[in-house]
Amino acid sequence: QVKLVESGGGLVQPGGSLRLSCAASVISLSIYNMGWYRQAPGKQRELVARITTGFTTNYADSVKGRFTISRDNPKNTVYLQMNSLKPEDTAVYYCNANYYYDYWGQGTQVTVSS
């Protein structure tokens, strides 16, 4: 069983930054493709960023140039650095791990508001 625990969410003003972390309880993170998704109230969950086992990354158009996903396999942790945050980035952010199956964390709330 894979357990994912997100942290780092909170309230930030527009233009501010946050770094989310996702700690995975796995033997080796290196075999999992990892991603961050978000879900705003009344909207469907959407992909924010993904990083493959080979460190290839891709991003939603809405966050390109502002968000950076990274992974530290020895620490079994994935990060999402979020800069220049906008009110429309407000959502619950979920960590995802994929290796044949999808595994999800509980989510962390990010609120961008003045």
Whether 24 contacts 107, CB under 8 Å: no
* Tens digits of residue pLDDT in 29-63: 999 999 999 999 999 999 999 999 999 999 999 99
**Per-residue pLDDT averaged across 7-33, rounded?**
96
DSSP 27: S
Predicted confidence band at 21 (pLDDT cuts at 50, 70, 90)?
Answer: very high
* Contacts by residues 50-57 (CB-CB < 8 Å, ≥ 24 positions apart): 51/78
Cα separation of 64 and 68, whole Å? 8
